[in-house]
Structure 1
């Protein structure tokens, strides 16, 4: 295999894949080579640009840690994460839509009893969340597990404080178990818009493209129950200025809900609040697993931990 040029090198590379033991790996890598080579030809990629691209990806790798996944951030901001999520989460009409895994999920978040305080000291305006989990037949899904997490009023997640050398206690995240009727309720703080981490190579890319790093206010949910597909989704706050320009393209109209403001006084948990507070109600509809055997739900990312978008 000698004297390859711009016209025949792609065929030569693909031919080298013929003996791949895994047919799926061969399919993926063949298509990847075809598209990358086509991209280089289409834009007439210069050597300087190619080296800059290699340097950019190297910087993405260098900044990645166990609590900051810059490669997932890159995937999110290029719309790839949401594309993979959409491809792998085709559901019947009426099911709650999935969206990107989002920022800073942590396995093993603390178990919070129904009605408990998920905020656990996180700064923000009080908010009381309640809702239900049902199937497509309208019947309750008993004892569904709900993992919930969110940023605080400063736009940071608890693990970001730990990364910066601060307190690493779990705040504004927890795991709840719905009751036998599929109902749940908990106390937290009002969701706020926040910027994705933009102090690294992905942030510089966004700046070069004239894009902002902001995400609209939202709560994250990961819901599991035997016999149903796992659901990874957000609930977005209605009226947020970034709903139509989410930096990671995760907004779905069906996931937008009203945070209702209430004056100081009696709260849904039987207590009282000296400051205004908010309430949020939302119903989640899960897809029975048997109805989606051919396309099981995935998170749309390589790892369930530390996505940074």
Structure 2
């Protein structure tokens, strides 16, 4: 009589193997393999750190607090992913492009999908607070040909470093947000205010934890953009102010040399600025999402 498989007994050495053995083995379903790999790494971390029961309860309480801090206006889980560098790493893995193309960055936790469509030349600063910036740009392909009717979605913090959905009682709805379409030459332009660098929100569980650990929680001044066009890969990116002193320590790891630009004054002593940008799109791979 052939003996059956030897049953494992739970121990430090076998804990992850026991979990993996209970999962179905199917080449058509990747979820069991993903779970097994995640648990293997998690159990290895536990063996390395050797937390007490009280330590682990604190970890569970932290994750619970992150969930409680997330709602339709604030996504604390996205903030956690961003600040741990996970969001940036996922972008790097999934958005490899030719050197001439505009690189992707993380979207961040303050994006809104319901922004209004505006006419070219519109001012997205609805409260008029801050120094004016005239933004102009062009969307083109790798050959330099213009991409007409591309959608440009933009959003940014105000001159005090706060997004509209962080201050729903202080800023007008959709302040410093808008969606535009490029003209037949691939150009777009609009008016806004000069963005300000800011500290990552530290009033929630994620910010409090990392601040306690001594992690830098600064973001350099920037504008956010999403560029969409049929047949091309969607670009999600930033444009950074070259004069910001915190470029080297961006809390979410999104500063890249190709995304740093100079805001130019429109005359000596002027409080009006100009920013020129260009976005280079690549053709979408067949069957890929755009």
TM-score bracket for this pair, using the shorter chain length: over 0.9
8 Å CA contact 2:157–2:164 kept in 1: the answer is yes
Gaps of 5+ in 2: 1-6
8 Å CA contact 1:123–1:154 kept in 2: the answer is no
Pick closer, same or farther for the CA change 1:143–1:284 going to 2, 3 Å. same
Note the alpha carbon deviations across 1:29-69, whole angstroms, 9 max, x for none.
Answer: 11101110111112223222211111111111111111111
8 Å CA contact 2:8–2:14 kept in 1: the answer is no
For 1:145, the equivalent position in structure 2 comes to 151
Greater radius of gyration (CA): 2
Pick closer, same or farther for the CA change 1:133–1:179 going to 2, 3 Å. same
**TM-score, structure 1 normalization:** 0.87
8 Å CA contact 2:135–2:192 kept in 1: the answer is yes
The 1-side partners of 2:118 and 2:104 are apart by: 24
Pick closer, same or farther for the CA change 1:246–1:122 going to 2, 3 Å. farther
The 1-side partners of 2:121 and 2:167 are apart by: 26
**Range that drifts further, 104-113 or 114-123:** 114-123
Written as runs of structure 1 = structure 2, the 5 A alignment for 1:155-304 is 155-162=161-168, 165-263=169-267, 276-290=271-285, 293=286
The 1-side partners of 2:28 and 2:68 are apart by: 30
> Does 1 or 2 have the higher relative contact order (CA < 8 Å, sep 6+)?
1
1:223 CA drift (Å): 0.4
Is 1:115 the counterpart of 2:131 in the alignment? no
1:295 CA drift (Å): 6.7
**TM-score, structure 2 normalization:** 0.92
How many pairs are equivalent? 284
Written as runs of structure 1 = structure 2, the 5 A alignment for 1:42-121 is 42-121=48-127
1:103 CA drift (Å): 3.7
1:3 CA drift (Å): 3.6
8 Å CA contact 1:197–1:203 kept in 2: the answer is yes
Is 1:36 the counterpart of 2:31 in the alignment? no
Structure 2 SS opposite 1:11: helix
Pick closer, same or farther for the CA change 1:191–1:168 going to 2, 3 Å. closer
